[in-house]
Amino acid sequence: MSDDYNFWLKDHTVVSPVNPNEGLHSSLRDRLVKRATKAVNRSINMVKYSIALVLWERMLIPEFVA
């Protein structure tokens, strides 16, 4: 490399080399987050339906629609 090139680079941030598996890791991470989010949503729905069913059985709400 020429000295001129090094002169221009010395004040800039150096970027580390890219991990060749980063795309795969990113994809797997995204799938895991989706799966976890789906499981949380399923759990929240289960709790809502359970509460509604208990309230309906005790006649505290007029109808229960599943």
Q: What is the mean pLDDT of residues 32-48?
A: 88
Asked if pLDDT for residue 46 goes beyond 90, the answer is yes
Which tens digit of pLDDT belongs to each residue from 5-36? 555 555 555 555 667 778 788 888 888 888 88
pLDDT at 44: 92
Instruction: Report in angstroms the alpha-carbon separations of 32 from 5, 24, 27, 46.
Output: 43, 12, 9, 21
Q: Tell me the torsion sign for CA atoms 5, 7, 9, 10.
A: positive
pLDDT at 26: 84
| d(C-alpha 31, C-alpha 38), whole Å | 10
Asked if pLDDT for residue 37 goes beyond 80, the answer is yes
pLDDT at 14: 57
Q: What is the mean pLDDT of residues 40-66?
A: 85
